[in-house]
Every structure is written in structure tokens, then in C-alpha cells.
Amino acid sequence: MSDQTTTTDVPDVNAGRRQGWAAPFFTIWTGQAFSLVGSQVGGFALVWWLTQASGGSATVLAAASLAAMLPSVILGPIAGALIDRWSRRRVMIIGDSLVAAFSAWLGIMAWTGRLEIWHIYLIVFVRALGGTFHFTAMQAATSLMVPEGQLARISGMNQTLRGVLDIVSPPLGALAMSLLPLHAIMGVDVATAAFAVVPLFFVAIPEPERLPTAKDARIVRDIARDIREGFLYIWRWQGLFIVLLVASLLNALINPAFSLMPILVREHFGGGPIELGWTQSAWGIGLIAGGLLLSVWGGFKHRILTSLLGLVLAGLSFLAVGITPTGAFNAALAGLLMAGVSNPFINGPFFAILQAAVAPKIQGRVFTAVNSLAGLTAPLGMVIAGPLADAFGVQVWFLIGGVVSLAMGLGLRFIPSVMHLEDHSAARQTSSDLLDEGSHPVEEQAPLLESHS
């Protein structure tokens, strides 16, 4: 069979609906933004309550971080498989409503004086689980609502929003804690969730043809197959697999650096809480600047070049922080600001490539597999972060992360499968294979290859 036959585009049945895309999309996006503000403020309050209740126990805080990490790394692929079978609009409604319900329950526990540490673990886990479903469904819905040429700009806007939240959430959370009891803050969190849920009842989201949902015990087998398909898709798409290996390595190196920032500020620069706040603000301002620049510019026409440029800028920025002497705190702030600028350049175009290339019918399982693989090594990095920092100082993480980021940004330029990542030919072939394998009724589907990454 000729290449023209095997790499045919999946028909875009929603192309006509995208013509008036802006009003419905930004109605949903704006509601989500308001909800995120409430969630971030509530999250800040929970962390502060946990810190006080545990007497500043690092073990307790680490356990809470693990509870927040597990859903996306371990359960993310299951979420993706389910999202490809369910209505993405309903997934977002149920996910946000579930988190709001647990926040309300937590508020009641705080109000009645029965709140315990394990309750915080539970709400952190539920928040992360709801976020895993919501993020994947929103990403998959975006590619159906937004024209392909605007996806990079939307990604830039998302990065900008993240930067704004990083700047305003800590002071808003601190202000809320000084004025309101915890149960009232949870009430604010529940109220802002309505901004995310209500518009979804009135705004239509285009849906791709979904996989059939089995109504008996075979659903477990079918979901397991769908999860395997997500990882197999990445394994078959060589360029994407290489990029995710790099992302996983960088997450293992960079996450500890930022997690140990308080120690760097106190031990190396001799600073306190104010200086730590400045580091967070510098990063957030950089995210905003980078997101705005990407939103206006849109990046290079060859999107992967924008991501590689971001890796180079990140590498130089981390190296700058790593070599900053004790008395040059402002130089470290400049390095963190530039690191923030580089982040949207790395992530925005990459997700735009995926949204444009991956068939909508399988985006749920592919996106969650991407997130799981990219974050898989982060727990390992956190395990070895403490001993290595004790032996060589926190700056070693910035130096190692900077060298690896710079090397990857320059080195990936010479790998053809990465440079042709957005040509769509590999994605189309992989999508066609999986769609063909999954196009039959459940009882007639043949098993996929067993070997996968």
C-alpha cells in the first residue's frame, strides 16, 4: 500500500465549528482562570496549615507532595484512556465539581474543629486527581475548539496565566490566612469553582468520535489496552519518544533545584522569607513575560526551534544561578527571571505540536502518557536531592541542570526525528495504525503488540 494511503489525515469534522471559536473558548478559559485563583489560594492555605499543624515536619510536607504527584504520574494514563471514551465537557464538569465537594467537606471539618493531617493528604490527592482529568480534557478540547494556527498563542496565554498565579497566589493566600479562618478560605475555593463549572453547561465543546464503552467486566481489559496504546503511540513516534526522554531527565534535575530554593536563599545568600519571595516573583514575572512574548510572536514557524531555543535559554539561566557568588543575589534573581521566560518557549510550542498532530480521538490517552513519562523521574530526583545537596551544596543542581539543558537544546538540533516532529507524517502513520486497530467493536478488536516502552 502506498504512503499516500497509509498516512492519510484523519478527517477534521470540527473544522467548520472553529470559525467562531474565540467567544466560546475564552468563555471557558476565563472561568477556568478564576477557578485557578481560588484553588491556588486554597492550596497555599492548606500548605500553611499543614506546616503549622506538623510543627514544620519535612516528612509530613514531603508526604503531601507525594500525594500531589502520584495521580498525574501513576493514574494519568488511566485518566487519558477514560477521557477518550467520555465526553470531555462532562469530564471537566465532574472533575471540578468533585474537587469543590471535597473542599467543602474539608471546610466543614475545619469549622467543626475535627480537621487532621490525613484529611489534608486526602484533599491534596483529590485535587491532583481532579486536576489530572481536567488538564487532559481541557488540552484535548482546546485542539478541537481552536484553529491550529492559534494553538501556540493559546499555549503562551496558558503559560502567562501560570506566571500570574505564581506571583499573586502567595500574597493573596497570606492575606486570606490573616483575615479569614481556613473554613472560610475553603468556601472561597468552592465559590470560585463555580466560575469554571457553570460556563461548561452553556458552551458546546466539539467531540471527536469516541471509543465504545464496554458495559461489563471487559472494560478493565479495554482500558488497559487504551493505556498501552498511549505508550505504544509514543514508542512508535521516535521523535516524540526522544523529546520525552529529555523532558524526564530535565524534570529529575530541575525540580530538586527549585524545591531546595529556601536552603539556597538562606545558606548561600544569607537571606530570609522576603528574599525567598523575591525568587518566586522573579520566576513568575519571567513566566508572564515569556508567555506574553510567545502569545504575540507565536514562535518560529518551525515550532520545535522555539522549544530548542527555550532549552538553551533555560540552560544559560540555570548556569547563571549556579555560579552566582554569595553577595550577588540580584544576579540570581535575573537568572531566575530568564529561566521563567524560557519556560513558555519550551512548553508552549511542544504542546501546540501535539495538539495539531495527534488525532483528536486518541489525544486523551496520548497526552496523559506524555505527562506520566515526562514526570516519571521527578520522584527519583527528589530522593537523591537531599544527600547530594548536603555534600556539594544546592547550587550543584542548578549547574547540572544548566549543563544538561544547554546540551539538549543544542544537541537535539542534529537529530532528524526531533527536527521533523511537526511534519505530522509520523504522527499520522501512528494515529492511523492505532485508529485502525481500535476502529472495530470491542469484541472484535485484535490485541496490540505486547512490546512497548
Helix/strand/coil (H, E, C) string of 205-273? CCCCCCCCCCCCCHHHHHHHHHHHHHHHHHHHCHHHHHHHHHHHHHHHHHHHHHHCHHHHHHHHCCCCH
- Spatial distance between the Cα atoms of 220 and 421, rounded to a whole number of angstroms: 33
Please write the tens of the pLDDT for every residue from 58-110.
Answer: 556 667 777 777 777 777 667 766 777 778 888 889 888 888 898 899 899 98
Residue 223 and residue 198 share a domain? no
Q: What angle in degrees, to the nearest 10, is found between the helix axes of 88-111 and 182-197? A: 170
Low-confidence stretches of the chain (pLDDT < 50) are 1-17, 56, 214, 216-217, 438-453
Residue 223 and residue 93 share a domain? no
User: Dihedral of CA 11/13/16/22: which sign?
Assistant: negative
C-alpha cell recorded at residue 1: 500500500
Q: Within a domain: residue 376?
A: yes
Give the Å distances, CA to CA, from 259 to 25, 36, 263, 276, 343: 34, 22, 9, 12, 17
HSE at residue 89, side-chain half, CA atoms within 13 A, is 16
Q: Within a domain: residue 281?
A: yes
Residue 238 and residue 173 share a domain? no
Q: Within a domain: residue 8?
A: no
Residue 432 and residue 297 share a domain? yes
Residue 311 and residue 252 share a domain? yes
Residue 193 and residue 232 share a domain? no
Task: Give the number of domains in the chain.
Answer: 2
- Domain of 350: which CATH number? 1.20.1250.20
Res 422: pLDDT: 74
Q: Within a domain: residue 210?
A: no
How buried is 272 (Cβ within 10 angstroms: 0-12 exposed, 13-18 middle, 19+ buried)?
exposed
Predicted TM-score of the model (pTM):
0.60
Mean pLDDT over the full length of the chain:
76
- Spatial distance between the Cα atoms of 398 and 254, rounded to a whole number of angstroms: 7
Residue 223 and residue 197 share a domain? no
Q: Within a domain: residue 111?
A: yes
Instruction: Mark which of 202, 234, 259 sits at the end of a domain.
Output: 202
Instruction: Mark which of 202, 236, 260 sits at the end of a domain.
Output: 202
Please write the tens of the pLDDT for every residue from 212-239.
Answer: 554 544 666 666 776 777 778 878 888 8
Instruction: Mark which of 168, 202, 236 sits at the end of a domain.
Output: 202
Q: Within a domain: residue 321?
A: yes
Res 219: pLDDT: 60
Residue 179 and residue 94 share a domain? yes
**Residue-wise DSSP of 67-97:** HHHHIIIIIHHHHHHHHTTS-HHHHHHHHHH
Residue 301 and residue 173 share a domain? no
Q: Within a domain: residue 357?
A: yes
Residue 286 and residue 142 share a domain? no
Res 435: pLDDT: 52
Res 41: pLDDT: 82
- Spatial distance between the Cα atoms of 80 and 366, rounded to a whole number of angstroms: 7
Res 321: pLDDT: 93
User: Dihedral of CA 187/192/198/204: which sign?
Assistant: negative
Residue 324 and residue 190 share a domain? no
- Spatial distance between the Cα atoms of 3 and 7, rounded to a whole number of angstroms: 6
Q: Within a domain: residue 303?
A: yes
- Containing domain of residue 245, as a range? 217-453
Residue 392 and residue 251 share a domain? yes
